């Protein structure tokens, strides 16, 4: 059973404000900084965090982790003989090709059933251990393996053996609720362990399903299902194993949305390859990724994205096959979604990571290509650590409250790179298919307290329908080329007190930080559009490098905020030229600069120096 431990605490986060000369910025970390954060103080957004820490623990019993050995003493042997079964031992009765296990104990199976069934229906208080040692079981009328009653069933895949379970396209033996509805179906707790292999061919509906807890701690498992692949109603927990799931609907799923302590998915290891027509992993409650190696494709992949005006997923592009508005997300949770480690490769027609509540990224290496949003959370998105590489998206990171405390993040988006508010800017009010609606009402915030953030956005680079705050970190924004969007777009205030920020793009709506910031900034709207790759260079009058940057798109505005900008000092802005240094995401921090064309010189005399077409006169 899942354990829930809840602890509420209030703590202050101390931020070290230093000049950013590398790709990361230091953040003084506390327990709360790496924990799920449900409520951020909006009065002082970056100084106080009220954190609710929710720990979902999965208990793995010894029998879950330790496979029963072959030919164990006292085991009942079931030899499958195509259309009959030979039983050696007690606790099981064969009726032709149908076997009913009615007592607790150990049962070892081998052989072939061309049309048969293994039924477990016990009244005992002890568990049933089922060892598959080279079976090929087909049922033409129901679930080949059907667990009706038992305290718990532990299904062991014996090392060195291949096992196959196959059902038919239709079932005849269904109860009033339409069950069983999976090739391996259990009303009770089910654990799969061992070092052998199992292939499940589910032609009727689902592959492996438990109406209670389903745990997988080992084995090489392949599921081919016309509907959902692997389902645990109350709990789906994966500790280890090599899983390949090809599903017409969801790959992995939990379904209990009625009990706050159930419906949870926890994956803490193993290798998972999921190709799903709908969601890759869908949880009715929390979803937690602790570790593991994931490859997830949903809805045919990001090339099958929703298309504006089509009203359905996919058919606006040639070759698209996903023709419904049903969800086709990579990771999806109804409640909190946490990624703490592992390697994730997600190619999704819909959002790559999505929750109706809060997302917490505490670690891991995440690579995503999305037909819609990269990461969407209705309430809040917090990134504390990890590597995120979003190579394609409509909008990159989207939530009501977005907090970046650390990590390395690369975002490519056709619309906003970061969006706090969702769907309220001019570029998405047309109601694109699959557009996310926010359940949270109230203020919107983007806060950057550290880490490394690179944005390549077709729309606004960073957009919030509320306020924006930056205390530390390194942020590089290649913003839009059209003037109806801006590199930065905020409706409240942008308070900047530390870190290193470069934002280039169109000039029509370019904005600078607010004048109540404490770190100096300069913004310059250029007289003409510069071509992609035209170097931007700012240096002191004595030649000290402040910024050397290579924008990847055409641009007409430049914004820089750096701890190296000093009040009363004078600087020179050049366009073009060359550098012997090495560019990382366009930023050059070493080498010698050969001057191009001097555009202007300026002296820092106020918090924001320069002017922009979108933001009006700012400073001098």
* pLDDT confidence band for 259 (50 / 70 / 90): confident
With cut-offs at 50, 70 and 90, classify the pLDDT of residue 55: low
Cα–Cα distance list, 118 to 59, 363, 391 (Å):
28, 43, 47
pLDDT in tens, 80-103: 999 999 999 999 999 999 999 999
Q: How far apart are CA 381 and CA 444, in angstroms?
A: 12
pLDDT (tens digit per residue) in 395-427: 999 999 999 999 999 999 999 999 998 432 333
pLDDT in tens, 559-600: 999 999 999 999 999 999 999 999 999 999 999 999 999 999
Query: How much is the mean pLDDT over the chain?
Result: 86
- Picking from 102, 8, 14, the residue whose alpha carbon sits closest to that of residue 55 is 8
Where residue 241 falls (left for φ over 0; alpha for ψ -120 to 50; beta otherwise) is left
Buried-exposed string 581-604: b where 16+ CB fall within 10 A, e elsewhere: eeeebbbbbeeebeeeeebeebeb
- 286 - beta bridge partners? none
If residue 201 lies in a helix (H) or strand (E), which one and from where to where? strand 197-202
Q: Cα(293)–Cα(10) distance, rounded to whole angstroms?
A: 34
Q: What CA–CA distance (Å, rounded) separates 206 from 248?
A: 9
Strands 213-216 and 189-194: parallel
Percent of the chain with pLDDT over 70: 83
CB 593, CB 579: distance < 8 Å: yes
Q: Are 499 and 471 in contact (CB under 8 A)?
A: yes
User: What pTM, to 2 d.p., does this model score?
Assistant: 0.87
Is residue 400 within a helix (H) or strand (E), and if so which, with residue range? strand 397-404
- pLDDT higher than 60, residue 442: no
Task: Reduce the DSSP state of residue 65 to 3 states and report it.
Answer: helix
Q: Tens digits of per-residue pLDDT, 274-295?
A: 999 999 999 999 999 999 999 9
**pLDDT greater than 60 at residue 58:** yes
* pLDDT greater at residue 37 or residue 63: 63
**pLDDT at 306 (0 to 100):** 60
Domain segments of the chain: what residues? 2-58, 63-225, 523-617
- What is residue 33's three-state secondary structure? helix
Question: Phi and psi of 469, rounded to 5°?
Answer: -135, 140
Concatenate the DSSP letters of all residues of 41-53 into one string. Answer: -SSSTTTEEEEEE
Please report which confidence band the pLDDT of residue 312 belongs to, taking 50, 70 and 90 as the band edges. very low
Would you say 374 and 395 are in contact if contact means Cβ atoms under 8 Å apart?
Answer: yes
The per-residue pLDDT for range 158-167, each reduced to its tens digit, is 999 999 999 9
Please determine, for residue 325, whether its predicted confidence score (pLDDT) is greater than 60: no
């Amino acid at each position: 059973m899942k354990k829930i431990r809840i602890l509420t605490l209030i703590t202050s986060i101390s931020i070290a404000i230093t000049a950013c000369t590398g790709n990361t910025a230091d953040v003084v970390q506390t327990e709360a900084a790496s924990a799920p954060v449900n409520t951020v103080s909006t009065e002082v957004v970056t100084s106080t965090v009220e954190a609710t820490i929710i720990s979902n623990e999965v208990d793995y019993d010894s029998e879950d982790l330790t496979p029963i050995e072959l030919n164990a003493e006292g085991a009942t042997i079931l030899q499958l003989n195509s259309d009959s079964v030979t039983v050696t031992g007690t606790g099981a009765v064969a009726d032709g090709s149908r076997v009913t296990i009615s007592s607790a104990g150990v049962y070892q199976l081998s052989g072939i059933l061309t049309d048969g069934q293994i039924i477990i229906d016990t009244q005992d208080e002890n568990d049933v251990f089922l060892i598959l040692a080279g079976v090929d079981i087909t049922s033409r009328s129901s679930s080949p393996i059907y667990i009706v009653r038992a305290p718990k069933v532990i299904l062991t895949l014996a090392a060195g053996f291949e096992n196959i379970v196959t059902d038919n396209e239709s079932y005849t033996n269904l109860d009033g609720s339409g069950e069983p509805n999976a090739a391996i179906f259990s009303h009770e707790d089910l654990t799969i362990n061992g070092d052998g292999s199992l292939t499940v061919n589910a032609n009727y509906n689902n592959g492996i399903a438990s109406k209670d807890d389903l745990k997988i701690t080992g084995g090489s498992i392949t599921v081919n299902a016309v509907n959902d692949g692997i389902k645990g109603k109350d709990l789906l927990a994966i500790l280890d194993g090599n899983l390949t799931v090809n599903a017409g609907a969801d790959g992995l799923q939990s379904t209990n949305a009625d009990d706050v302590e159930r419906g949870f998915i926890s994956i803490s290891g193993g290798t998972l390859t999921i190709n799903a027509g709908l969601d890759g992993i869908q949880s009715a409650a929390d979803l937690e990724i602790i570790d593991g190696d994931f490859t997830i494709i949903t809805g045919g992949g990001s090339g099958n994205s929703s298309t504006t005006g089509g009203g359905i997923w996919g058919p606006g592009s040639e070759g698209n096959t996903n023709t419904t508005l049903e969800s086709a997300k990579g990771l999806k949770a109804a409640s909190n979604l946490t990624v703490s480690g592992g390697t994730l490769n997600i190619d999704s027609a819909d959002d790559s990571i999505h929750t109706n509540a809060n997302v917490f990224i505490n670690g891991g290496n995440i690579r995503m290509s999305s037909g819609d949003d990269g990461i969407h959370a209705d309430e809040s998105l917090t990134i504390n650590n990890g590597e995120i590489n979003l190579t394609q998206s409509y909008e990159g990171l989207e939530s009501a409250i977005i907090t970046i405390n650390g990590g390395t993040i690369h975002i490519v988006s056709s619309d906003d790179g970061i969006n706090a508010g969702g769907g309220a800017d001019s570029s998405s009010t047309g109601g694109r298919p699959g557009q996310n609606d926010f359940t949270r009402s109230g203020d919107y915030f983007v806060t950057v307290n550290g880490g490394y953030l690179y944005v390549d956005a077709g729309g606004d680079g960073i957009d919030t329908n509320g306020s924006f705050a930056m205390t530390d970190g390194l942020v590089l924004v290649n913003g839009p080329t059209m003037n109806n969007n801006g590199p930065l777009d905020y409706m409240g205030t942008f308070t900047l007190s530390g870190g290193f920020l470069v934002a280039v793009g169109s000039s029509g709506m370019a904005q600078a930080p607010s004048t109540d910031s404490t770190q100096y900034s300069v913004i310059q709207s250029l007289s003409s559009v510069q071509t992609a790759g035209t170097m931007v260079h700012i240096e002191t009058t004595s030649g000290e490098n402040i910024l050397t940057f290579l924008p990847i798109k055409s641009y007409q505005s430049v914004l820089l905020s750096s701890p190296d900008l000093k009040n009363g000092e004078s600087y020179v802005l050049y366009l073009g030229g060359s550098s012997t240094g090495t560019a990382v995401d366009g930023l050059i921090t070493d080498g010698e600069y050969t001057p191009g064309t001097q555009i202007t010189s300026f002296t820092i005399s106020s918090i924001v120096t320069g002017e922009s077409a979108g933001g009006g006169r700012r400073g001098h």
